[in-house]
Amino acid sequence: MSINGSVFAPIALLAYNRPAHLERCLASLQLNPECARTVLYCYLDAPRCAEDARLVEQVRRIARAVTGFLAVQIVERPQNWGLSRNVIGGVSEVLADHHKVIVVEDDLEVSPTFLHYMNEALSFYATSPEVFSVSAYNYPKKLFSVPRGYPFDAFFVQRHMCWGWGTWRDRWQRADWQVRDYDWLSRSESWQRSFREGGVDLPGMLDAQVHGEVDSWAIRWTHAHFTHHAVCLVPVESFVNNMGVDGSGVHMKRSTRYFHPMLNRKKELLLPSLVYVDPFIARMYKTVERRSLAFRAVRKVSRMVLGVGSPGTMSAALNQNRASTSRG
């Protein structure tokens, strides 16, 4: 396979207050030879509090000095947007000028073949409207592995994997960030069962989003996949590690659960030409986040005790019971 001379997708890089993570993320991106032909957009959030101001300024200085890309465009938010708004806004801004985008957050470390894989996948499925996104992250083998003899280097799932991913303008524009259909969907048992096919944790996370208990762009993007009967491409071997599970981030607690000791460096890729969710893979994949059963139990009890609409108190309890890859 080859990229056939197509223009490389620009990168939207989201960062906040972790300068060491950003330096490591940029260094890993710079090991990709495609950087020299790639435009980098940096969306840098403003400090949420006075204590974060020094770190935010360090992040901005690092971004201003970055080299090795075709061009660098920096957007420094004048007020704190928060992760969800910064991601949705940044991706939308890039896609206003480009037909496709690669999205990287500052806590990701990528393989030297990350950009090759992403551009191959974005080109290969550009005319497949049922593919809403392509991801470069997959769970470690201790959590999930494809069946022996699976012939391709990637597969399709019904949930979005948000650690290093890409999409196209025409698909991104179909997302409903207000989740306006949730009121009637949530009353349907068949909807709950169907949505759970993408992951046992998904209905609970979307419910928490709608009720203001979390602020996640990723669960809403997964909801868009589900609503439009769309899928996400996932590599058999991950091209990405998340450094943010070191306890430094707002949305993830410390964990080694999702870490890969080695990242995928493969360049000769065999991608499935038929957009098809393998039922055996899907059955295994949806249970990786089965720990969310405890998450849902805590939520249910918390609502009974605290009442609906106590997001601050509930979030404290919930955060002790979940660490999900849909932490965006």
CA distance 80 to 83: 9
pLDDT tens, residue by residue, 176-192: 999 999 988 888 889 88
- Which residue is associated with the tokens 């996400």? 232
What pLDDT score was predicted for residue 62? 98
Q: What is the mean pLDDT of residues 302-316?
A: 38
CATH of domain 11-174+228-290: 3.90.550.10
The yes-or-no verdict on residue 322 having pLDDT over 50 is: no
Q: What is the mean pLDDT of residues 226-253?
A: 80
The yes-or-no verdict on residue 307 having pLDDT over 90 is: no
What pLDDT score was predicted for residue 20? 96
pLDDT tens, residue by residue, 53-111: 999 999 999 999 999 999 999 999 999 999 999 999 999 999 999 999 999 999 999 99
The yes-or-no verdict on residue 317 having pLDDT over 80 is: no
Assign 324 to helix, strand or coil.
Answer: coil
Long-range contacts of residues 5-8, Cβ cutoff 8 Å, at least 24 apart: 6/119, 6/123, 8/34, 8/37, 8/38, 8/115, 8/119
More confident residue, 327 or 105: 105
**What does each C-alpha distance from 132 to 96, 198, 224, 271 come to in angstroms?**
17, 14, 9, 16
- Domain layout of the chain by residue ranges: 11-174+228-290
DSSP at 65: H
Amino acid at 138: N
pTM: 0.86
pLDDT tens, residue by residue, 123-141: 999 999 999 999 999 999 9
What pLDDT score was predicted for residue 192? 87
